Amino acid sequence: MLRRRLQPLHPIAWWCWAGTLAVAASRTTNLLLLGLILVVVAWVVSTRRGNSPWARSFGALLRLGLFVIAIRVAVQVLFGDRVPGDTWFTFPSVPLPHWAAGVTIGGPVTAQAAIGAFCQGLQIAVILACFGAANSLASSFRLLRCVPAGLYEVAVAVTVAISFTPQVVLSIARVRDARRLRGRATTGLRGWRGLAVPVLDGALERSVALAASMDARGFGRRSRSPKRRRLTAAATLAGLVGLGVGLFEVLDSGSASGIGLAVIILGGALVIGGMAGASHGSRSRYRPDRWRAAEWLVLSSGLLAAGAVVAAGGNDPSSLTQPLYPLGLPAVPLAALAGILIATLPSVVAPAPAPVRAQLQEAAA
């Protein structure tokens, strides 16, 4: 049977889509919005992820998210600010001297404290889930091919940053298999103890090895003159730092975003300038990923979702937060909810993953 070979969606489109949803999540502690973002991401992952080993990243990061929520709530309950409100129960408290005002151990646990901490934990968990979705949906190797050659100066860092999460997921599977074959525990506390070190070690090692091999194959040729090289390196590095700081400014809703935006633009310009200065000659690509209509649709669906949430916040900031005083049901900002639902679009417009199941059946027949 002749099947038209479909090229998978451009990895940058997937990352942008996940990134916009993460931005939307970072703007709200409304349980409904966070829950909807989470299930929308999960739905798209379930329909469009392939059978690659790193497709399991989403599940792994979901579990990490649960861990984050547990830590956040536990810290709040045990050591956090004694937030006033409706007391649920009281932990035995340790009186601390006067100069330690603001630090508490134990004491009354209010509904407001616990629910507020849960919402904040869930927010981080949803952002982690978006990150996991991007790792599940887009191949890190394809993404690496899109990294401009001019980023040579930070090539190792970029390679490790992009490939670390999928490598961790791969490592977990590998080390688990090895331990199972040796008859050791793979679950529970004992299992995790034996797992953690080899997994982190192996993942980082493989990421660095990947970076080295890419280096050896000429990823990012440098320009010949050392002076120019130094200049472009400085520009790229300064630009990347600027991008980081600017992103922090913009995403932290407490600060004025005007400065952050300016810093992002400046940093972006520096990075592009540095890359343009560093790139020397052209690079050929084997079967390049193309940016087509589907990529535009996926990208705009994400932008619409984030835009709807940000706009809802501008309209009525209280609609994006969990009401704590008095404790109540979260607001239902319909426009924001509809916007997030639009982000399910990739489950239709993105090309389906390679049908491995059918191939396996064919091979078996």
In this chain, which of 83, 170, 305, 312 binds another protein, going by CB under 8 A? 83
Residue 299 touches another protein, criterion: CB under 8 A:
no
Output the smallest distance, CB 227 to another protein, in A.
26
- Sequence-distant (6+) residues with CB within 8 A of 135 are 54, 57, 58, 61, 165, 166, 169
> Measured between alpha carbons, how far is 335 from 321 in angstroms, rounded to an integer?
15
- Of 331, 325, 352, 324, the C-alpha closest to 117 is 324
How many Cβ atoms are within 10 Å of 213's Cβ, its own excluded? 11
In this chain, which of 8, 9, 12, 169 binds another protein, going by CB under 8 A? 12
Packed helices 155-181 and 57-79: angle between N→C axes, nearest 10 degrees: 90
In this chain, which of 4, 183, 326, 364 binds another protein, going by CB under 8 A? 326
Using CB under 8 A as the binding criterion, the count of chain residues that bind another protein stands at 81
Output the smallest distance, CB 293 to another protein, in A.
21
In this chain, which of 28, 57, 104, 167 binds another protein, going by CB under 8 A? 104
In this chain, which of 137, 158, 294, 345 binds another protein, going by CB under 8 A? 158
Comparing CB distances to another protein, the nearer of 189 and 312 is 312
In this chain, which of 3, 4, 5, 98 binds another protein, going by CB under 8 A? 98
* Near another protein in 271-290, by CB under 8 A: none
Binding segment toward another protein, per CB under 8 A, in 179-187, 207-215, 287-295, 326-334: 326-334
Which string of DSSP letters, residue by residue, matches 18-57? HHHHHHHHHT---HHHHHHHHHHHHHHHHHH--SSGGGGH
Residue 18 touches another protein, criterion: CB under 8 A:
yes
Output the smallest distance, CB 295 to another protein, in A.
13
In this chain, which of 9, 24, 45, 149 binds another protein, going by CB under 8 A? 45
Which helix (DSSP H) or strand (DSSP E) does residue 121 occupy?
helix 111-137
Which helix (DSSP H) or strand (DSSP E) does residue 191 occupy?
helix 188-216
Residue 263 touches another protein, criterion: CB under 8 A:
no
Comparing CB distances to another protein, the nearer of 226 and 326 is 326
* Near another protein in 122-141, by CB under 8 A: 123-124, 127-128, 130-131, 134, 140
> Measured between alpha carbons, how far is 21 from 12 in angstroms, rounded to an integer?
14
> Measured between alpha carbons, how far is 332 from 319 in angstroms, rounded to an integer?
7
* Near another protein in 160-199, by CB under 8 A: 161-162
In this chain, which of 199, 243, 263, 308 binds another protein, going by CB under 8 A? 243
The DSSP secondary-structure symbol of 327 reads B
> Measured between alpha carbons, how far is 91 from 365 in angstroms, rounded to an integer?
64
In this chain, which of 151, 270, 294, 298 binds another protein, going by CB under 8 A? 151
Asked if 248 and 230 touch (Cβ cutoff 8 Å), the reply is no
Binding segment toward another protein, per CB under 8 A, in 120-128, 170-178, 204-212, 220-228: 120-128
Asked if 47 and 166 touch (Cβ cutoff 8 Å), the reply is no
Binding segment toward another protein, per CB under 8 A, in 174-182, 198-206, 287-295, 329-337: 329-337
